[in-house]
Amino acid sequence: MRKAIVPFLALLAAGCSVGPKYQRPVLPAPVAYKEAPPQAYKEWHAANPSDSALRGDWWTLFHDSDLTALEERIDVSNQNLKAAEARYAQARALIKVSQSQKYPTVTAGAGVTSNRDSGTYALANSKTSSQFGDFSLPVDVSYEVDAWGRVRHSIEASRDEAQATAADLETLRLSYHAELAFDYFELRSADAEQKLLDDTVVEYRKALELTENRFEGGVAAGSEVAQAKTQLEATRTQDTDLAVRRAQYEHALAVLTGRSPAEFSLPARSIVDPPAIPVGLPSQLLERRPDIAASERRVAEANAQVGIARAAFFPQILLGAALGLEGQSIADWLNWPSRFWAVGPSVLQTVFDGGRRRATQQAAESNYEATVANYRETALDAFQQVEDNLAALRVLEQETATQRAAVVASEQSLELSTNRYTGGLVTYLEVVTAQGTALANERLAVDILRRRMDASVLLIKALGGGWDRSKLPS
């Protein structure tokens, strides 16, 4: 027995992992962003970013109490997030399933059988009776020696998948928080536009009264009254139509926070100005984006799967043991001679499988290459999204300045046209034209502000919302 055990122990000592050692794929990360931040980001420094300002509750950058209150409800009320959290808990449980392979499997049972041998067999074997009972109480122990790293790679794959699922959860969480902020600022821009139209309706009503008074005094034509009334009613229609858009965004906010639209309402408020967002270095984006972290973890998982596939080419080494009691009656279990035991190793090697193991390895290696490509593409998409929104904020900031000047000029033009009309120097058509121009410029100014807020939210989302790889579970 000892002569058999010594070579077996030597075989165990020589065992090693046959899988490839994981190394994180190299990404083509730029040294700096191509798009410079807007002029409003006076404290932004590419080499020394204010990372501490963008952590966790990133929506507090907007200093909007209503937005903060809504964002705080997502984690506790959104049903899609609850489903993602359950999937993460499932992935964590599967780690323990894989880890259980490191330990022996112990089974116990009891068996009672009644047997009758043939009469011929009994005579041939000089048995006094061909009927007998078999009462057994065995305990079996089996253990797979992880000589080639199959079990270890299985645990690594499960752990990597759990970490990827955790990052998936954070990606979904970031998406919902960003979607809520996006819808919130869309609603607030509708509020700002509706206030503008409400004020405009008041001014147009005054203009209509002016034309009606002038018509009654015989100094204005009836067509001018019709023009003023048309302008007023058309603006009222636009004002009413905004209620549809606002209601839809309000309903979306209700669902995102886990409430029925019928149970939720948000009073009108003015829209805030966009904040300066700490952008940081391009390399830090890889730490901030949970979707990049999830993609990288799946590369590691695919690498572990390659190790599992390669281990299948080597023999499976098993240690087995059995012990228990057996007799022709339960009373025999009390007798010491009824004991039995067996212990010993076994080696199982697949000799022919029609190329299944080779194909499995090729599939695992191809899957690894695909995950590497997905990882790199995810990072490139992230860099693009940051650049896109930096460019949008920079251009929109320039548009804000020029549009502000256009609004002032159109208001001055309207005031002059109204005074000229009151003095009888021009027809009401000039006033109508000036009114339309002023309203269009003011609505465009509100729309530019809306787009700046949206781009700010999208930039924060592109930066990962302050999330980092250290949040991945071990």
271 DSSP assignment: P
Whether pLDDT at 231 is above 50: yes
Nearest to 94 by CA among 156, 168, 150: 156
Q: How confident is the model at residue 130 (pLDDT cuts 50, 70, 90)?
A: low
> Which structure tokens are listed for 211?
């034309």
**CB neighbour burial string for 320-356, b if at least 16 within 10 angstroms, e if fewer:** eeeebbebeeeeebeeeebeeeeeebeeeeeeeeeee
46-60, 95-109, 129-143, 358-372, range with greatest mean pLDDT:
358-372
Chain center to CA of 95: 21
pLDDT at 285: 87
> Which structure tokens are listed for 110?
């009891």
Q: How confident is the model at residue 368 (pLDDT cuts 50, 70, 90)?
A: very high
Determine whether 198 is exposed, middle or buried from the number of CB atoms within 10 Å of its CB (0-12, 13-18, 19+): middle
Helix (H, G, I), strand (E, B) or coil at 423: coil
Return d(Cα 442, Cα 448) in angstroms, integer.
Answer: 10
Return d(Cα 21, Cα 440) in angstroms, integer.
Answer: 63
Mean pLDDT for 45-60 is 58
Whether pLDDT at 119 is above 70: no
Question: Greater confidence, 436 or 219?
Answer: 436
Nearest to 471 by CA among 170, 195, 207, 153: 170
Whether pLDDT at 8 is above 80: no
Return d(Cα 393, Cα 35) in angstroms, integer.
Answer: 10
CA pseudo-torsion sign 50, 52, 53, 58 = positive
Nearest to 257 by CA among 20, 110, 66: 66
Return d(Cα 394, Cα 389) in angstroms, integer.
Answer: 8
The letter for the amino acid at 376 is R
pLDDT single digits (tens) 296-339: 999 999 999 999 999 999 999 999 999 888 888 777 777 888 88
pLDDT at 474: 67
CA pseudo-torsion sign 51, 57, 58, 64 = negative
Mean pLDDT for 241-262 is 93
Question: Greater confidence, 39 or 396?
Answer: 396
pLDDT single digits (tens) 416-445: 999 998 888 888 889 999 999 999 999 999
Mean pLDDT for 182-207 is 94
78-92, 253-267, 316-330, range with greatest mean pLDDT:
253-267
φ and ψ at residue 253, rounded to 5 degrees: -65, -35
Contacts of 309 (CB under 8 A, 6+ apart): 357, 360, 361, 363, 364, 365
Return d(Cα 45, Cα 238) in angstroms, integer.
Answer: 44
Chain center to CA of 328: 63
Whether pLDDT at 97 is above 70: yes
Contacts of 111 (CB under 8 A, 6+ apart): 134, 135, 136, 137, 138
Return d(Cα 91, Cα 356) in angstroms, integer.
Answer: 28
Mean pLDDT for 198-210 is 92
pLDDT at 247: 95
pLDDT at 47: 38
What is the rounded average pLDDT for all residues in the chain?
86
pLDDT single digits (tens) 266-297: 999 988 888 888 888 888 888 889 999 999 99
N residues, the chain: 474
Whether pLDDT at 46 is above 70: no
φ and ψ at residue 12, rounded to 5 degrees: -65, -40
pLDDT at 52: 44
Whether pLDDT at 11 is above 70: no
Mean pLDDT for 241-270 is 93
